[in-house]
Amino acid sequence: MALALALFAAFLSIWIVIPGPFAALFILTVAGTELWPVLTVLDAVALVIALRSRYRMRPAAIVIALGALLCTLVPLLSYAMFGPRVPLAALLFPESHNATAVRRDAPAVLVIYGGAWEHGSPRSNAQLNAIIASWGYRVIALDYPHAPSSHWPAQRDAILAQIDALPAGPIAVLGHSSGAQLAIIAAALRPRRISAVITYESPVDLRLGYEYPPKPDIIGQRQVMHDLCGGTPEQQPACYRSGSPRYVVHAGMPPVLMIAAGRDHIIPLAIEHLLRDELRGYGVSVDYVELPWADHAFEDVATGFHDRIALWYLHRFLDLRLSRRRL
C-alpha cells in the first residue's frame, strides 16, 4: 500500500516540473501547479505512511514520496524567489464569486474566451467572470465564429461588431490566450471606445508561432494557425500579419495589463516580452505581471495559486482604470 500510494502521489505531482507532452497530461500540469497545496497534503500523507511501513519496499516508497513532495513545493519556492508580490491575504483567501447585484450603468468588462480560435464558448471561465462581477462590474462574455469553418478576420470582425453595438460607457476588454489576441487587436482598432485591456497569455506573432512551434507541441500549433488563416504564412501573408498583435498595436492605445505565465509551454515568454516592449515603445501604459511557475491557461483553475495572484492585480487594475467613471 505504501509504495502504491507513493507512486500515485508521484504520478500526480511529477507533471508540476515536467510538462505533460500532450493535452490530457498537460491538464495535470496546469491543475497540479495551481492546486499544489492539495497535492502537498497527499504527498505528506504518502511519506508518513511510507516511513511507518515495515514493507520490504519501504526505502523505495520513502524516496518516491519525498520526491513527489519536493515537486509540489516548486511553485511556492519559485514565487518566494521571484514574486510578484501580493498581500498575504490574497494568497490565503480566494476572491469570492458569490452573485451580487450590479448597477446597470456600471462599467463593463468584456470577456473573450480562449481555445485556439477553435474551441470554447461564452460560458468558458464562468467562475472567473463571476468573481469580476462580484467586484461591481458588468461582465459581458463575447462570442466569435470558430476556425476552421471561419477564417480570420471573421473572429476579429465579430468581436468589433459586438463592441460597436454596446451603448456608450466605459469598458475594459479581457481575453484569454486566443481571446487575448482578439482583445489587444480590438483595443488597437477601437482605442477611443475601450478604456483598458487585459491579456492572459496573448499570441503575438502568428508567423513566428507557425515557424517555431513549441516543444512539446501540445496543441499542434502549425495546424491551428493553418486552420485560422486557411493556409501557410506564404499562402496567406495578410492573415498572419493582421492577426499578429505586434503589427497592429500603436501609440494612443488604452492602458494594458499583461498577465504572463512564466513557464508557458504554448505561448513562449520571449514572445510576451516582445509585445510588452512593442507597446511600451509606442508609449502605451503597460502593467506587466509574470507568474514564474504558472503554465498556459492557469486561470482556468479559478482561485488556484497563481490565479489568486493574478486576481489581485486584475482587481487593482480595473479599479484604477475604470474607477473614475464608477462614481
Domain boundaries, the chain: 2-82, 88-325
**How many Å apart are CA 78 and CA 236, to the nearest integer?**
41
List average pLDDT for each run of 10 residues in the chain, which is 327 residues long.
92 96 94 97 95 86 96 97 94 76 87 97 94 95 98 98 96 98 98 97 96 93 98 98 98 98 95 96 98 97 94 96 62
Assign a CATH topology to domain 88-325: Rossmann fold (3.40.50)
pLDDT of the residue at 326 = 43
pLDDT of the residue at 97 = 65
**How many Å apart are CA 90 and CA 282, to the nearest integer?**
33
pLDDT of the residue at 1 = 79
Other Cβ atoms less than 10 A from the Cβ of 171: the count is 23
pLDDT of the residue at 325 = 45
Among candidate residues 69, 74, 76, the one with its CA nearest the CA of residue 50: 69
| pTM for this entry | 0.94
